[in-house]
Amino acid sequence: MSAGDANSDMGGDEVMSVPDGSVNHAWGLDQPPQQSKTKADFVTYMIGAVSGALKNYGSVGAFLRQRFQDPGSKQEFLNAINSLVNMEQTNFALNSDLPVSKPDLIGAEAPLRLHLACFSFSVLASQKGEPEDGVVKMLAEQILHDGFVSSGDPLFVSCPAELLAEVSQDKLKAPWMTNVGNPLHPFSIGYVKGQARILTLLTILTIGLDDKVDFNEAWL
């Protein structure tokens, strides 16, 4: 299956305020600027924070799994992600019966648009292992400067049965689950291609949310 996600415009050099009271100190990450800074300063800080997560936890996947160990913290993350996504203006594929892409039609089929909260950070999500540090740092810089872009390079995803069994135990509540007959579970989508991009984006969001950064105002 292939999936595309919305692009975000993060260009410009606007001035933004990064709040005090970061909780990232508890996670061994550098603290953000404590006063209004330009976007360039924010990008520099965020790349440093992602590097800190890699250094302290070994990988972005391990950082996310450590940060969201229990159903309660996962539900809070799900709610935070959903607050950043406009469900009314985007036609998401939210039914778990996703179509299977045929190899000879890849590139000819229109990609699906999946909600960010459907993507997994479990070790069961991919057989490729964790993305390399250098790739993560490069992707973090691209995302922070240009937004999350998948229109020219769609993700290829999977729905492993063992991953679904794992996430189903958390009994997470997502807003679309009451309106769709056979809904996708939060954090239930695995990867054939694109794991590094998604885990990097989720790490950036986690660090920013812990620092109480208003992403809608700042750079989304």
Instruction: Kindly report, residue by residue over 148-180, the tens digit of the pLDDT.
Output: 776 667 788 888 899 999 999 999 998 888 777
- Residue in 47, 36, 156, 168 with CA at minimum distance from that of residue 102: 156
Q: Is 183 helix (H, G, I), strand (E, B) or coil?
A: strand
Tokens of 176: 């679309």
Global pTM?
A: 0.78
Q: pLDDT tens across 114-155, in order?
A: 889 999 999 999 988 899 999 999 999 999 888 877 666 778
Rounded to whole angstroms, the Cα distance separating 138 from 140 reads: 5
Domain range holding 87? Answer: 2-218
Classify residue 113 by its DSSP letter. Answer: E
How many domains does one find in the chain?
1
The chain-wide mean pLDDT, for the chain, equals 79
Q: pLDDT tens across 101-113, in order?
A: 665 656 666 678 8
Instruction: Give residue 14's pLDDT.
Output: 37
- Residue in 220, 211, 60, 217 with CA at minimum distance from that of residue 125: 60
Residues 21-43, mean pLDDT to the nearest whole number: 56
Rounded to whole angstroms, the Cα distance separating 5 from 27 reads: 29
**Phi first, then psi: what are they for 83, rounded to 5°?**
-70, -20
Rounded to whole angstroms, the Cα distance separating 84 from 88 reads: 12
- Residue in 107, 140, 123, 125 with CA at minimum distance from that of residue 219: 140
